[in-house]
Amino acid sequence: MAQARPILFLLAAAALIVASSLLVKQPEPPVRKPAAAKPAAAPGATPVIPMVTAEMKDGKAIFEQVCSACHGMDGGGKAELKSPAIAALPEYYAKHQINGFREGRRGHHPEDTQSSLMGIIAKQLTDAQAEAVVAHITKMPRTVPADIEKDSKNADVANGQMLFQERCMECHRYNATGEIAFGSPPLVGQQAWYIMAQIAKFKNGQRGTVKGDVNGAKMVLSSNFIEDEQMLRDIVAYILSLNPRPEPPAVSNDSPFESASR
């Protein structure tokens, strides 16, 4: 048959390529480049994962050279990378989460790509580096979520307030600033899409389900109270309303009407 020869040839060529790659060389270990040598993140949805190097000691430098690639220079998060706001997270919570990513309390689920990604970073940090960078983010000013108006559309804030006070406040405090005694994080300052994504993860087993994750387990229980999308939207809109609003523009003194009346 005329067809048989090219197929055989292709097969032989493929076999040769496989054989030669086996004979000639083993894959080289990846080279670690200092993150500063190259801009850390490319624009778009696929981040270049920045490398932590041994020379990085200062918390601010680690933040700027590594963390900011995904979490933004102001630590307010990047929606396109699904990276949350981390500026001003309290030490007790930030530390516990970094350890969670290292120990597999977060990022254990095969479909949780965001936490797996963060796990790669967290595992590169030495204890001293983790401590230094956490100390730095704790001191950064809290950011205001990007799209408060848009993310509060089609939501009933008053209903959200009632639900929050009934089911969330006891652990996250009345003003959603978090509570060290319960290990709960602040929810003010956090982006709406991230709050929603985490509630989904607590509900679908991607977060809070590892044995011994006491704090996560509390949220698995609490998230089950949220029955549908509308309830979640209402609660999130109320949490967003607790953020400071931008100051209204100052009344200008050089108004012709005002100066005329003086």
Q: What's the min distance (Å) between Cβ of 180 and ligand HEC?
A: 10
**68: exposed, middle or buried (C-beta count within 10 Å: 0-12, 13-18, 19+)?**
middle
In the complex with ligand HEC, which residue's Cβ is closer, 31 or 85?
85
- The closest alpha carbon to 137, from 62, 53, 50, belongs to 62
In the complex with ligand HEC, which residue's Cβ is closer, 14 or 221?
221
Question: Which residue bears the tokens 């990513």?
Answer: 101
Helix, strand or coil for residue 184? strand
In the complex with ligand HEC, which residue's Cβ is closer, 11 or 120?
120
Q: What's the min distance (Å) between Cβ of 190 and ligand HEC?
A: 6
Query: Which residues lie closer than 8 Å to 30 by C-beta, 6 or more apart?
Result: none
- Estimate to the nearest angstrom the gap between the alpha carbon of 44 and the chain centroid: 16
Do 164 and 239 contact (CB within 8 A), yes or no? yes
Q: What's the min distance (Å) between Cβ of 91 and ligand HEC?
A: 11
What does the alpha-carbon distance between residue 240 and residue 95 come to, in Å, rounded to a whole number?
A: 25
What is the b/e burial string over 144-164, where b = at least 16 CB atoms within 10 angstroms of the residue's CB? bbeebeebbeebbbebbbebb
In the complex with ligand HEC, which residue's Cβ is closer, 23 or 207?
207
Give the single-character DSSP code of 206: S
Q: What's the min distance (Å) between Cβ of 235 and ligand HEC?
A: 5
Q: What's the min distance (Å) between Cβ of 80 and ligand HEC?
A: 11
In the complex with ligand HEC, which residue's Cβ is closer, 21 or 165?
165
What does the alpha-carbon distance between residue 44 and residue 217 come to, in Å, rounded to a whole number?
A: 34
In the complex with ligand HEC, which residue's Cβ is closer, 49 or 242?
49
In the complex with ligand HEC, which residue's Cβ is closer, 127 or 254?
127
Provide the binding-site residues for ligand HEC, judged by CB under 6 A.
47, 49-50, 62, 66-67, 69-71, 81-84, 86, 89, 94, 96-98, 106, 114-115, 117-118, 121, 125, 133, 137, 167-168, 170-172, 182-185, 187, 190, 195, 197-199, 215-216, 218-219, 222, 225-226, 235
Q: What's the min distance (Å) between Cβ of 159 and ligand HEC?
A: 13
Q: What's the min distance (Å) between Cβ of 170 and ligand HEC?
A: 5
What does the alpha-carbon distance between residue 191 and residue 184 come to, in Å, rounded to a whole number?
A: 16
